[in-house]
Amino acid sequence: MTELSGGSALPQERRVVTAIPGPKSLELQARRTATVAGGVGSVLPVFTTRAGGGVIEDVDGNSLIDFGSGIAVTSVGASAEAVVRRASAQLANFTHTCFMVTPYEGYVEVCERLAELTPGDHAKKSALFNSGAEAVENAVKIARAYTKRQAVVVFDHGYHGRTNLTMALTAKNMPYKHGFGPFAPEVYRVPVAYGYRWPTGPENCGPEAAAQAIDQITKQVGAENVAAIIIEPVLGEGGFIEPAKGFLPAIVKFANDNGIVFVADEIQSGFCRTGQWFACEDEGIVPDLITTAKGIAGGLPLAAVTGRAEIMDSAHAGGLGGTYGGNPVACAGALGAIETMRELDLNAKAKRIEEVMKGRLAVMQEKFPVIGDIRGRGAMIAIELVKDPETKAPAPEAAGALAKACHAEGLLVLTCGTYGNVLRFLPPLVIGEDLLNEGLDIIEAALGRL
Ligand code: PLZ
């Protein structure tokens, strides 16, 4: 069935006409292997020709249902009308001047939108960058300049990027850090409230994990040495872990009481993904700084640090920047993406996606004990797969096999998690409900064959 979605002109249908990957993709893959560095992987090597709404078309004429959004980026679709229109107009006017050389309005407008949309009604300022990792690095620079302290606290299962400092902040060795050290100093990792795996159960997890984390910070680092505490309000790469209730507010209170800058890394969870503009709104948290990227610009590379004006202004003039940060085409894309999120009420769409997905996944869990846990919010939903629901032994092989089975049927899904046993679903928020259900049918059938 055909339906138009998110301003995309692409037929919104699944179409599998060859093996996946097909012959043309295999040919391109051979060329790629000869010339692209082996360290750069691809989840599914089908080469893309067009993408939009809830689908990705490949060189062999297949049309895949997209449950990945390019890792939580194309929330408005990969060719959203307002993004294409605004970015194209900007391209024709000028591609670049460098904001540090001669500025332009689009950059300022994006910062105005960020001030409106991020939590809290205090005075806010922003600085724009190219990638999520770059935003996180700059949040650390700003927090250190403001506090005149050095230590940075992060959490088990956290992910913040692949640059040297952000590798140090990221928890998981393989594939992100292995062999790439030495890592940046003054980074300390403490427990997070992972309800499903908390020894005394999810009910006790929030306060207990917070007490442990705070105890480790005070005893091992010293609160007065800590510049920043950085956390993803829903942990992404680590396995779509929602910190158990009470954990985040306790950590925020500790940060506030001790003059520590609290940084919410909303690079994956932000911009309507969880059914709110930002996931930290769920427990009424107002971060001192917030890092954003991915969903902000409808697929164009843009990232930001937004926060309390007095903190953001603590870096000396000229201390922050970069050649391309806040590129005018990316800013135009962001303004188009934000316009689309507001016009289509994508927070409501994300909540509807959660309702459909969780409803169907709960039915699957009854039938298939391999589904240990269903979690996430909005259009950031995951299932954690286990060998046995009692022992909760992780089942990464099952996650890999399921992903492969879905790919073969024309459904793009991603895995994640410290143990590699989480199947995650991140559809574009503009996906049609028929495609969403068709994708869930494929998952259900694949679970049945597992
Ligand atoms: N912070 C919370 O999710 C990027 C990484 C994919 P960049 N996540 C996807 C991969 O394997 O590289 C991410 C994130 C959070 C920071 C980042 C880093 O954002 O734009 O990839 O640098």
Atom of ligand 1 nearest to the CA of 131: 20
- pLDDT score for 5: 53
Atom of ligand 1 nearest to the CA of 268: 3
pLDDT band for position 1 (cuts 50, 70, 90): very low
Q: Does residue 64 line the site of ligand 1, with CB under 6 A?
A: no
Q: Does residue 293 line the site of ligand 1, with CB under 6 A?
A: yes
Determine the average pLDDT of the residues in 211-223. Answer: 98
pLDDT in tens, 391-413: 999 999 999 999 999 999 999 99
- pLDDT score for 108: 99
List the domain boundaries for the chain.
Answer: 23-76+345-449, 83-343
Q: Does residue 237 line the site of ligand 1, with CB under 6 A?
A: yes
What gap in Å lies between CA 415 and CA 172, rounded to an integer? 14
Q: Of the residues 137, 294, 415, which should be mutated to test ligand 1's pocket, given the most ligand atoms within 8 Å of the CB?
A: 294
Q: Does residue 137 line the site of ligand 1, with CB under 6 A?
A: no
- pLDDT score for 174: 98
Closest among 118, 109, 99 to 292, alpha carbons compared: 118
Atom 1, ligand 1: residue with shortest CA distance: 160
Q: Does residue 162 line the site of ligand 1, with CB under 6 A?
A: yes
**Does the pTM of the predicted model rise above 0.85?**
yes
Atom of ligand 1 nearest to the CA of 301: 20
pLDDT band for position 4 (cuts 50, 70, 90): very low
CATH no. of 23-76+345-449: 3.90.1150.10
Determine the average pLDDT of the residues in 89-113. Answer: 98
Determine the average pLDDT of the residues in 122-150. Answer: 98
Q: Of the residues 136, 162, 237, which should be mutated to test ligand 1's pocket, given the most ligand atoms within 8 Å of the CB?
A: 237
pLDDT in tens, 255-273: 999 999 999 999 999 999 9
Q: Does residue 401 line the site of ligand 1, with CB under 6 A?
A: no
pLDDT band for position 309 (cuts 50, 70, 90): very high
pLDDT band for position 20 (cuts 50, 70, 90): very high
Q: Of the residues 152, 240, 267, 302, which should be mutated to test ligand 1's pocket, given the most ligand atoms within 8 Å of the CB?
A: 267
pLDDT in tens, 22-44: 999 999 999 999 999 999 999 99
Closest among 275, 309, 308, 303 to 291, alpha carbons compared: 303
- pLDDT score for 332: 99
Determine the average pLDDT of the residues in 120-143. Answer: 98
Determine the average pLDDT of the residues in 377-397. Answer: 98
Closest among 384, 375, 368, 355 to 446, alpha carbons compared: 368
Q: Of the residues 75, 160, 300, which should be mutated to test ligand 1's pocket, given the most ligand atoms within 8 Å of the CB?
A: 160
- pLDDT score for 9: 79
pLDDT in tens, 29-84: 999 999 999 999 999 999 999 999 999 999 999 999 999 999 999 999 999 999 99
Mean pLDDT of the chain: 97
Q: Does residue 131 line the site of ligand 1, with CB under 6 A?
A: yes
pLDDT in tens, 189-201: 999 999 999 999 9
Residue type, 117: L
- pLDDT score for 6: 54
- pLDDT score for 3: 41
In this structure, whether the domain defined by 83-343 belongs to CATH 3.30.420.40 is answered with: no
Rounded distance from Cα 267 to ligand 1 centre (Å): 7
Q: Which two tokens stand for residue 14?
A: 């699944």
